[in-house]
Chains A and B, each alone.
Chain A
Amino acid sequence: MRIAADIFTIVAILTGAFFFLAGTVGLLRFPDTLTRLHALTKADNLGLGLVVLGLLPQSNSVFAGLKMILVWLLVLLASATVSQLIARAARRDGPPS
């Protein structure tokens, strides 16, 4: 049981790390603000979700696990809002560069 949980953790966190890497590559390689935002917000939210999911079997209490899920939800809310605000500022300041 312990080993199964550990394997699950490793696989989930590695997948999460892959999404973070993909998001970062997108940030560096995509041509303009809007596409870079797209890469970052989508990939990083999923990556963080997978990391949290992977850490859940390792948490000592249900309360600690719930706190991690809450952190993920708050990051989702914050990054969705901030990406909207950045996108609006980018559109207002003229053609994306």
Chain B
Amino acid sequence: MSDALHLALIALLLALAFWTVVARETFAAVAGFVSYGLLLTLAWVALSAVDVALTEAAIGAGLTGALLIGAASRLRKTEAAARTEWPGRATRVLAAIVASAVAAAIAACVLLLPDPAPTLAPEVAQNLASTGVGNPITAVLMSFRAMDTMLEAIVLLFGLIAIWSLASDRYWGGRPGLAPVYEPNGILAYLARVLPPIGIVVGIYILWVGADYPGGKFQGGTVLAAMWLLLMMSGLHDAPAVSRRWVRLVLIGGPAVFILVGVLGVFVANAFLAYPAGFAKPLIIVIEVALLPSLAVTLTLLLIGPPQRSESPP
């Protein structure tokens, strides 16, 4: 990409970020945030970081955007009332100063990096062959820094438990979200019949190519989660009660397999999460395949919110 395009992209990003911060309505700010995420995806592509771009599009703009839209629509009723009790000018100026200072500190850290920046990329490239995967990002995530990825998968579960704990006692363990409205001839029901077969193939494909090209379980899992959400939103399928045994099993299945493989490493390769020589790639594939359904179900349930109905349909 030429310099002019880069500059235009940077200018757009800054303008959109500013607009998102000053937007008065929550919903407008969310719309700005989603567009900002999509533009950021372009920026990552321009930096040749396609893996990061995929994650930004799927999780940063898509999933976070959907979460924020849900939050904005819940806030809508009370937004006018909340505006009357805006903080005073002094508080706002102070908040702006603190926020600007944080941004300036981060900018200074990035600008003051030694040139060339310290990097582990040559070491990763050297040892890539020992993992058996072709995509260096996957090698880092699943082998060299597998611990981080494991904790990431587990922290999502904690997030889900936190959301569930917002349910009222009456609906504990019940079905999440509101009762779906099913319109057999609606356009949403039509899309929910046509799109999931394609989406499921695309989600699994993204997981599979992750071994050698940009992709992986998080991006694939987000696509699968989107398909399931579409089915729920269209009313073709109701959300399961979160106390169902299969829901719980799928949720912990991926992290459990990850921990099991890690413990196995203690006995056969002398370190937690170390893979025995020659078995790195098959074990990585086992973990990724086990994590895909767990992540898809975790992300879906994170989005749909705490249980709001009892187990049995009314």
Contacts and interface: CB of A to CB of B under 8 A. Distances in A.
A79 B270 CA distance: 53
Interface residues of A, number: 7
A81 B187 contact: yes
Interface string A5-42: 00000000000000000000000000000000000000
Contacts of A66: none
A75 to B, nearest CB: 12
B21 interface: no
Query: Chain A binding site: helix, strand, loop or mixed by DSSP?
Result: helix
B7 interface: no
B82 interface: no
Interface string A78-92: 100100110010000
A85 B187 contact: yes
Contacts of B187: 81, 84-85, 88
Interface residues of B, number: 7
Most chain A CB within 10 A, of B187, B190, B194, is at B187
A37 to B, nearest CB: 13
B41 to A, nearest CB: 14
Contacts of A85: 187-188
Nearest to B192: A81
Contacts of A88: 187
Interface in B188-207: 188, 190-191, 194-195, 198
A74 B198 contact: yes
A81 B198 contact: no
A20 to B, nearest CB: 15
Interface of B: 187-188, 190-191, 194-195, 198
Interface of A: 74, 77-78, 81, 84-85, 88
Given A77-B194, A81-B190, 11 more contacts: A74-B198, A77-B191, A77-B195, A78-B191, A81-B187, A81-B188, A81-B191, A84-B187, A85-B187, A85-B188, A88-B187
